[in-house]
Amino acid sequence: MIPKVFFIGMDNSSDQPLIDLMLDSGCSVASISSGRRNLAKTIKRNLVAGNDPLHTISDSNVYINMTYFENDDYIEGNQYYRQLYEAYPDAYFILNCVTEAIFVKNRMNTPILEKCKEIMVAGKPLTTQEVVWNWITYRTQHHATVINWFFGDDIRAERFLMLDVDYDNVSKMVNFVAKDYTLNIDNWIHSV
């Protein structure tokens, strides 16, 4: 069985070029919702039930955009990278990232902002400034913990790549997954 690829960066970190690249390369990609199931919500439910994180959604090769928002329920599915690694130690884990400014700009241009503002803290909705501060704080902490965890073990480090989607050459990712995937970069659109 071919190893899976998990993009564990924040949603809205130039995901679409990565999705297009993987699809153009013949990969089965699960993004946000796989079928009618949201990835983050399904992973969380599976783990709470004691199942494999991808139980019922394991039919794809590539997983990206693992975020869920509804009412007061907000899940950043990328937080489950450890559980995904435990279940799939041969998988490729790619921390896709962009600069903080691009990340905030990308998220501000989606429905995520308004949904996050609806989340109540101490009985009142968050302001735009509070939402952005929370995104930046979580993103900074997520990147640090992911990097430290993967580089804390030589075997895990071999399965990990940090990819700045806007500034790294796509060949960095092509070479990283080359043992199991042949990526078609003919249509790669570099954001910068």
Task: Answer whether 0.85 is exceeded by the pTM.
Answer: yes
Tens digit of pLDDT at every position of the chain (192 positions): 899 999 999 887 678 889 999 999 999 999 876 566 789 999 999 999 999 999 988 999 999 988 887 766 778 889 999 999 999 999 999 999 998 998 888 888 877 777 776 666 666 777 888 888 988 999 999 999 999 999 999 999 999 999 998 889 999 999 999 999 999 998 787 654
CB distance 57 to 30 below 8 Å: yes
Helical (H) or strand (E) element with 163: strand 160-164
**pLDDT score at 108:** 82
Per-residue model confidence (pLDDT) at position 158:
97
What is the C-alpha separation between 61 and 91, in angstroms, rounded? 9
Domain assignments of the chain as residue spans, ordered by start: 5-102+142-177
